[in-house]
Structure 1
Amino acid sequence: MRVITAIGFAAETGAQSYIATPLTKAITKPTLEAAVKICGLSNTKETYFHHIHKDPKTMKDFNTFMSGNRSTRQHWIDWFPVESEIISGSHEGKDEVLLVDVGGGKGHDLETFLEKFPRFKGRLVLQDLPGIIDNLKGLNEAIQAIGHDFFNPQPVKGARAYYIHFVPHDWPDEKCRDILRNLMTAMVPGYSKILLNESVLPDRGCPPHFAASDINMMSIMAGRVRTEGQWRELLQSIDLQIIRIWPSTDSGDQEAVIEAMLKS
């Protein structure tokens, strides 16, 4: 309790007498409680995600955290110009793929996309590991769900955009190159795009929350939360061209969409 009170997770009212603080109450909320649980895994030689996918209880905690975390932030379509950058110029036809959500979990991002753009032309494809896709319930019929490991070649060829939300920060640079190269083999030069919806940290003066998040990703999965300079270096190393970085309009948020294409 001396340590807990020293860092503000509780307060002392006397010798061995304590009361809750706002931080105490915050970590009892389902989203943050789930976050604590999913950060304490051990005793396995498997990768983090292969390990948690085998444990329904841990997977439930992971989805609780991800859903709650996203619900408090702007959605990427609220600041990224979808109509001008994705829908405009896309190939028309019901069999053409407009957007592939790579590692998209239960499809929350595509469901939100459908709500805002109900009359777009093209197909929406959700991809995640087969264990996730096989247990989906209630997914909108307009979304095609495919079991896929993004460390394997991308099976959906020639989509207008391949969207990845908070995936690369889970992996070191070399693994990210593997993920991106698998997408690049499916892209049409001058047409297909990769949309990386990620944190983009400033090269100096990083806010405390995001600095701590970087340490968290490193300790759990050998990943990293990258600065703008690190993103540019990573994509340039595999001949991806950054068209533009679109930052969130939420004050203080470091989330952005990195729009990239094959180098011409």
Structure 2
Amino acid sequence: MKMTGNPVESGNIAAIIKQLGGLSSKLELANDQSPESKLYSFIPIASRIVVDLNLLEYIVNHDKAITSEELASLSGGEALLITRLLRALASVNFLNQVGEEVWQATPVTKAMASEGISAGIRVIGEMVAGAASKAPKYLKEAGYSCPTDPHDGFMQYALQTKLTSYQLFNSIPRVQKDFNNFMGNTLGARKMWLDWYPIEELLNGAVPDSALLVDVGGGKGHDLVAFHKKYPNKGRLVLQDFAIDTIGDLDPAIEPMYYDFFAEQPVKGVLIFISPPSPIPHLFDARLCFNTLGARAYYYHHILHDWSDYKCLEILKHVRDAMKPGYSKLFLHEMIIPETGASPIYAMLDITMMCFNAGMERTERQWRAVLETAGFEVVKVWPGPEVGSDGMVEAMVKE
């Protein structure tokens, strides 16, 4: 399903950050001793409270400008508090102040009021930012090195738990719901890989009746649905996810399959031995051997960035063992950070992943290093077609 339209209106976080270029410029204070730069950390706090009060939704749904008093009546919050919060957000272009205690929506307001972005603000504000606030103390005690253990990172330190972030989120229903909504609404108007990857290279040489594309950890199957819509009836499409039973209705062209990517990959190439009838019992010298193929491609979208290198190697081992050398492809649809001049969205998401699950966004060099260690050969690296968009790392088993 290709997203189109205004990128901000589509709920694209990257577009929101780009829209707020004025905020970035205010932070460039190398020759300015203004204390302003020290105060911007309060903007996310104000955003979280505003979202909790549904103020942005009320502003967006109002046909014209709306007053703080009207918002107080709708939300149950105090008018003075609402004015102070919205004034802070208006100062960084999240909405417009068009009069004394009078507010009006902008495209950024509409994006922030969407279900996915609002959910993300709550999750990041409550869980990730809470973990980040303890990062200085954690890193001081840990000797200033990146966390790598998902059971012992910023989140675990802040909340005094040994659960991974995923386990922790799943144990809190409202957080789990917000997280799932956020993850399902972060693409926005950015181009899908189907718009720029040469799919013919995948289809050519694919063996009929074997799996064409396995989407590992594919959530609700958005990528496979889009693939089938654009390239119908080209081969078996398999959706694998840990929570496959929660997906609901799924296109019958897509085969759902429960799978934990830290376990053995069930869609794999295997040797099958069939013994023909023999006059001598238990004599199998004349066995017939058949080699079944693994999938043509195994696709991981925003999976490995959640994990540190050693956890990525555990994941990659299972898919490598399932792949047929010379035939199966590995697709990693991830951000590829430039070695220099990284944009704010790349840099900030990298820090977010470190706070979230001891994961990381990676440069091309880092992706190549992980894959080589895991026994893969990189075929090609496809940079993201737009600033803030995902690229693709294509690899095959090293022969």
Could you tell me the TM-score, scaled by structure 2's length? Answer: 0.59
Give the C-alpha shift of residue 64 in structure 1: 1.7
Match of 2:392 in 1: 257
SS of structure 2 residue aligned to 1:92: coil
When structure 1 is superposed on structure 2, of 199-208 and 53-62 the one drifting more is: 53-62
Paired residues of 2:117 and 2:182 also in contact (CA < 8 A): yes
Give the C-alpha shift of residue 37 in structure 1: 2.3
Matching of residue 89 in structure 1 with residue 205 in structure 2 = yes
When structure 1 is superposed on structure 2, of 240-249 and 210-219 the one drifting more is: 240-249
How does 1:86-125 map onto structure 2 within 5 Å? 86-93=202-209, 96-120=210-234, 122-125=235-238
How does 1:167-182 map onto structure 2 within 5 Å? 167-182=303-318
Give the C-alpha shift of residue 168 in structure 1: 0.6
One-letter amino acid of the counterpart of residue 392, structure 2: V
Match of 1:217 in 2: 353
Match of 1:13 in 2: none
How does 1:9-158 map onto structure 2 within 5 Å? 9=43, 18=84, 19=87, 20-21=89-90, 22-23=93-94, 25=109, 27-39=112-124, 40-41=126-127, 42-83=159-200, 85-93=201-209, 96-120=210-234, 122-129=235-242, 132-157=243-268, 158=294
Paired residues of 1:79 and 1:246 also in contact (CA < 8 A): no
Match of 2:367 in 1: 231
- Cα distance in 2 for partners of 1:223, 1:164 equals 15
- Cα distance in 1 for partners of 2:94, 2:250 equals 36
- Bigger helix share: 2
- Cα distance in 1 for partners of 2:354, 2:38 equals 27
Q: Which runs of 5+ in 1 are unaligned?
A: 11-15
Matching of residue 196 in structure 1 with residue 332 in structure 2 = yes
Could you tell me the TM-score, scaled by structure 1's length? Answer: 0.88
Aligned residues: 252
Q: 1:202 to 1:113 in 2, by over 3 A?
A: same
- Cα distance in 1 for partners of 2:365, 2:335 equals 12
One-letter amino acid of the counterpart of residue 173, structure 1: D
SS of structure 2 residue aligned to 1:71: coil
When structure 1 is superposed on structure 2, of 236-245 and 185-194 the one drifting more is: 236-245
Match of 2:290 in 1: none
Q: Which has the larger radius of gyration?
A: 2
Q: Which runs of 5+ in 2 are unaligned?
A: 1-34, 47-80, 96-108, 128-158, 269-293
Give the C-alpha shift of residue 220 in structure 1: 1.5
- Cα distance in 2 for partners of 1:102, 1:214 equals 22
Q: Sequence identity of aligned pairs in percent?
A: 41
One-letter amino acid of the counterpart of residue 188, structure 2: S
- Cα distance in 2 for partners of 1:55, 1:75 equals 32
Give the C-alpha shift of residue 208 in structure 1: 1.4
Give the C-alpha shift of residue 219 in structure 1: 1.1
SS of structure 1 residue aligned to 2:337: coil
User: 1:82-133 deviations in whole A, cap 9, x for unaligned?
Assistant: 12x211110013xx1001000011111111111101131x21111111xx21
SS of structure 2 residue aligned to 1:134: helix
- Cα distance in 2 for partners of 1:143, 1:51 equals 30
